[in-house]
Amino acid sequence: MKTKVAVLLIILAMTTSAMALGDLSIGPFFGMNIPIANKDAKSGSMSGFQAKFSPITFVAGGLHFQSRNFGDPSKEFFYGSDTKDGGKISSIGFDLYLGKTSGVGPNFYFIGSVGSYKWKRDNQSDISKTSYSFGPGLEIVLPVKIGIEGRALLEIVPTGEKGSWKNFVWFIGANYHFGLGIL
């Protein structure tokens, strides 16, 4: 009987440790949206919210919501200038992280994202496209389960006309981690 209890306790201890490897984090972020190859907009601010699940230390998946503003571009003519509405973008997407994605201390990773891209401007029809983005990220997780994160992403939005809009997006955020694995 003592042997069965000891084996059961060992199995329970191993199961708890294996389940503790998962890390779920959520948090807001704020940054800038800078158009690279898009003359219809100027730089603007962005904010959003993200959730990330890391079942093991080197791979994670996540979801994000972003809301961005573009600055108003203007064109110079012989008779003066004309200003258009830069518009607002909303994006919901899926993220894949590769690299050190969880654990206390510095976590450096690469991220790739696919998302929906909706661009709304005054006096123009709304644009809905699929967006792709990729780039590096760094999160420093403190022992109190709070992480400070920064990312720099290149976003590509194919226009379907042998072209694409490109944006450089950077942001800083804070995440709360619900599990950090074995410390």
CATH number at residue 155: 2.40.160.20
Tens digits of residue pLDDT in 131-173:
999 999 999 999 899 999 999 999 998 887 788 888 999 999 9
Between residues 112 and 164, the one the model is more confident about: 112
Residue 121 lies in a domain: yes
Residue 133 lies in a domain: yes
Contact call for residues 149 and 137 (beta carbons, < 8 A) = yes
- For residue 87, pLDDT over 90 is answered with no
CA–CA distance, 116 with 130 (Å, rounded to integer)? 5
Tens digits of residue pLDDT in 15-57:
434 444 588 999 999 999 998 877 777 888 999 999 999 988 8
Residue 62 lies in a domain: yes
Instruction: Name the domain count of the chain.
Output: 1
The two three-digit tokens of residue 168, written as one number: 């450089």
Residue 115 lies in a domain: yes
Tell me, what's the pLDDT at 15? Answer: 44
Q: Which of 157, 162, 166 is nearest to 93 (CA)?
A: 157
Residue 74 lies in a domain: yes
Which range marks the domain in which residue 164 is found?
22-177
Cβ-count burial of 150 within 10 angstroms (0-12 exposed, 13-18 middle, 19+ buried)? middle
| Stretch 89-110: mean pLDDT | 91
Contact call for residues 82 and 75 (beta carbons, < 8 A) = yes
Residue 158 lies in a domain: yes
Between residues 75 and 60, the one the model is more confident about: 60
Residue 17 lies in a domain: no
Residue 14 lies in a domain: no
